Amino acid sequence: MSLFQRNATRQPLAEYDTVLAWIVAALLSLGLVMVYSASIATAEAGKFTAYQPGYYLLRHGMYMCVGLLAGLMVFQIPLQTWQKIAPYLFLLGVALLVLVLIPGVGRAVNGSRRWLSLFVINLQPSELMKLFAVLYAADYTVRKGAVKDSLSKAFMPMFSVMVMVGTLLLLEPDMGAFVVICVIAIGTLWLGGFNLKVFGLLLLALPVAFAVLIISSPYRLQRVTSFMDPWADPYGKGYQLSHALIAFGRGEWLGVGLGGSVEKLFYLPEAHTDFLLAVIAEELGFVGVSVVILLFGWLIVRAFAIGRQSVMLDRMYAALVAQGIAIWLGVQAMINIGVNMGVLPTKGLTLPFLSYGGSGVVANCVAIAILLRIDWENRRMMRGMSI
């Protein structure tokens, strides 16, 4: 049999990771249904949305369409291009974080100044900054590979940059985004093979730094104390968490049925955003929550598998971006799930792909498009090597 015949009979490689695409499609679809279910009462009674039960459904659907369209466009961009522009995107993210703090420019909601008004929609720069942090941290790690054992040349520049970004985020305040971006940066440097002694120092210094941040802010201290015992003040500091726990308790194994949640009827604040999982728990029960967790676990496994494949093909930047996306989505999902279940303090982080929010959904879709692009390039390289 000739070489041509052997190649013709060989099982062809798929063009992209279809499993990953279906996982994301499942999360987005579930999110659309649950956002509608969780927001009907809020939309009907809203000052500007009265008698419009589908208001949040339509807007969330629009955000999903924009995110998918942006993802299709991003998929066409070679990863090499992202590596070249990563530092500039990071600078753009910093500029947006500065803009959001300027009175009259940034929009404040519930005491937090996190949004830029674009007339039709509100842009949340911290969501874009997570994506830019993944791209920049991967590029930085690759560039500093030759001096990765040097504390002054490799670690301190990144540490200084993270301090600057962290300061801007804490001024909003957005402690949740700060935690996620720090984990992205540290995780990427770790995976890139930076000196282990540096991370030993970090493990000692970070708990102290976070303790100082919490104690120095009455707002953050209140969140921590209410998380530790929400039933001590169920009508005050512990109101949100206590109702989230009630929702979990009512759901039991199979839930009360889609649309049957009582907690979403003005008892549980932010039911369609930060606490969407509590509504899922109440309506779909333990089974529904388990499905969400399994889907996220599967997504993270696929992302790390793509990163490992990139390492085998000697594509270090691609590997670090894929793993950085896995860290970002995994840590944010874990924090949101932990907050909803009462095992972590309230952080104001949404559940990726599911919670209502334009900037978050678009940034998540773009991240998955980049991940699919990495996988697509890997498959093309493997196909070329097999010929």
Which of 45-49, 137-141, 149-153, 323-327 is the least confident region?
Answer: 45-49
> Is residue 113 within 8 Å of residue 351, measured between CB atoms?
no
51, two tokens? 């008698």
> Is residue 21 within 8 Å of residue 372, measured between CB atoms?
yes
Global pTM value? 0.92
Confidence band for 114, pLDDT divided at 50, 70 and 90: confident
Q: What is the mean pLDDT of the chain?
A: 89
Instruction: Please state, in angstroms and rounded to a whole number, the distance separating the CA atoms of residues 28 and 61.
Output: 10
Better-scored residue on pLDDT, 231 or 302: 302
Instruction: Please state, in angstroms and rounded to a whole number, the distance separating the CA atoms of residues 366 and 362.
Output: 6
Confidence band for 12, pLDDT divided at 50, 70 and 90: low
Type of residue found at 42: T
The 10 Å Cβ neighbour count of residue 25 is 12
What does the pLDDT read at residue 203? 67
Confidence band for 100, pLDDT divided at 50, 70 and 90: very high
**Which residues sit opposite 113 in a β-bridge?**
108
What does the pLDDT read at residue 15? 82
What does the pLDDT read at residue 108? 80
State CA 285 to chain mean position distance: 24
Tell me the average pLDDT across 152-157. Answer: 82
Question: 4 pLDDT exceeds 70?
Answer: no
Provide the 8-state DSSP code for 11. P
What does the pLDDT read at residue 365? 98
Confidence band for 69, pLDDT divided at 50, 70 and 90: very high
What does the pLDDT read at residue 387? 64
% of the chain beyond a pLDDT of 90: 61
Question: 9 pLDDT exceeds 60?
Answer: no
What does the pLDDT read at residue 65? 97
What does the pLDDT read at residue 194? 82
Tell me the average pLDDT across 49-56. Answer: 83
For the stretch 155-176, pLDDT in tens is: 888 888 888 998 899 888 888 9
Instruction: Please state, in angstroms and rounded to a whole number, the distance separating the CA atoms of residues 359 and 125.
Output: 8
Instruction: Please state, in angstroms and rounded to a whole number, the distance separating the CA atoms of residues 19 and 366.
Output: 17
> Is residue 99 within 8 Å of residue 135, measured between CB atoms?
no
